[in-house]
A = this chain, B = another copy of it.
Amino acid sequence: MNELGVSPNPGQDLDSQLRHALEEAGWRYTRQRAAVYQFLHSTTEHPTAEEVFSTVRQTIPSISLATVYKALEALVDAGVAAKLSSTDGPARYDCRMDSHYHVRCLQTGRIHDLPTPFDPALLDKLDPKLVESLERQGFHVTAYRLEVVGYFPEK
């Protein structure tokens, strides 16, 4: 980082972060995983495996869809990406690892990040005894998720 807080070489920073995270979790650093990670970071959409595949293919033409799936699994396991569920259609992947909220389009399945600041105390505000009560019942609370659902304009 320089005095402006901007990395002079964001690609290299990402690479060393990735290498570290992968090694920490017992995975090897490979160019396929690096390319998948870079692409996830370059987009604000939350792409599907197929979307990752067709983009990364432009850089590494020999990459296979199976390798993309395995790379995404490694990234999730290494804690640098998250898998987002959907009722219909394929899973989507997110590499913003700070807690944040999503908007989901029920028509297209697309997901975007919300700019709204994450409120760590939201569950307590909803019900001060909620987490305590769940833990007492043996459920270990690790997080909460909130998403706004609706429809994007017709395209």
Contacts and interface: CB of A to CB of B under 8 A. Distances in A.
What is the copy number of this chain in the assembly?
2
A66 interface: no
A122 B121 CA distance: 13
Interface stretch (A38-46, A55-63, A147-155): A147-155
A123 interface: yes
Interface residues of A, number: 38
Please report whether the interface of chain A is mostly helix, strand, loop or mixed according to DSSP.
mixed
A144 B149 contact: yes
27 contacts: A84-B87, A85-B85, A85-B87, A87-B91, A101-B126, A103-B134, A103-B139, A114-B130, A116-B127, A119-B126, A125-B125, A138-B152, A138-B153, A139-B152, A140-B151, A141-B149, A141-B150, A142-B150, A142-B151, A143-B148, A144-B146, A144-B147, A144-B148, A145-B145, A145-B147, A145-B149, A146-B146
Given A134-B150, A142-B151, 12 more contacts: A85-B85, A85-B86, A87-B91, A116-B127, A119-B126, A126-B146, A131-B148, A134-B148, A138-B152, A139-B152, A144-B148, A145-B145
